[in-house]
Chains A and B, each alone.
Chain A
Amino acid sequence: GDSVTQMEGPVTLSEEAFLTINCTYTATGYPSLFWYVQYPGEGLQLLLKATKADDKGSNKGFEATYRKETTSFHLEKGSVQVSDSAVYFCALMETGGSEKLVFGKGTKLTVNP
């Protein structure tokens, strides 16, 4: 079945550091890919998405590029802030298949001042 694998956390960075959170997926078809963010005590929020190969999703300084050849969708940000501290979830939805989001296990990011 479809699955998403994220790098293990937690990740701790200093403010203004570069962030990469790796995400790879397994799917039989052509999924849409997503990054969701969950701040402490809150529900998940959609951060960015990409629906086809080579698409780049971006939002709030975060970017991720849909790489079909490596089945990856790594999240990057050039300069993190303390306010970026949260748990980040990579997810996929296979169009025409189950049409449900499948989440990775999440990566907790802590940014220190």
Chain B
Amino acid sequence: DAMVIQNPRYQVTQFGKPVTLSCSQTLNHNVMYWYQQKSSQAPKLLFHYYDKDFNNEADTPDNFQSRRPNTSFCFLDIRSPGLGDAAMYLCATDEGRSGGYTFGSGTRLTVV
């Protein structure tokens, strides 16, 4: 029944070692978002795709990249993780930017 699936739930990576987080959806929604959420803070939008159209937030560091090879999958690549990148990363989908997002359970990233 899970509609937005994030893998893995927990990811530990080394400082400076590239890491990829994945998100898949069964809803066929055309919009996919990546949010970063640090402890006790609101989710912060990193970027989103409207179909294949990529939209980067102005304050998203260059260290963060994304790929969307098809409607169902979206990836977050962190090229050189720093200690400050430790956070929960949330993927969400929306049908036509309605605001009624469907979130995945998130991937908690630890950088050691």
Which of under 10, 10 to 19, 20 to 34, or 35 or more describes the interface residues of B? 20 to 34
Residue of B nearest to A46 (CB): B100
Bound CA–CA A86/B98 (angstroms): 24
| Interface residues contributed by chain A, number (CB under 8 Å) | 21
Beyond A43-B90, A89-B42, A105-B42, is A100–B48 a contact (Cβ under 8 Å)? yes
In the complex, B105 has a CB within 8 A of chain A: yes
When C-beta atoms are compared, the residue in chain A nearest to B10 turns out to be: A41
B residues neighboring A (CB under 8 Å): 4, 6, 33, 40-43, 45, 48, 90, 92, 97-106
Contact between A49 and B43, CB atoms less than 8 A apart: no
Cβ–Cβ contact B43 & A44, under 8 A:
yes
| CB-based nearest B residue for A103 | B42
Query: Is A44 in contact with B42, judged by CB distance below 8 angstroms?
Result: no
- A66 contacts the other chain (Cβ, under 8 Å)? no
Residues of B within 8 A of A43 (CB): 4, 6, 90, 92, 103-106
A37 to B102, CA, bound (A): 12
Provide the residues of chain B in CB contact with A69, threshold 8 Å: none
CA distance A59 to B41 in the complex (A): 24
Inter-subunit contact A44/B41 (CB<8 Å): no
CB <8 Å contact, A49 and B42 = no
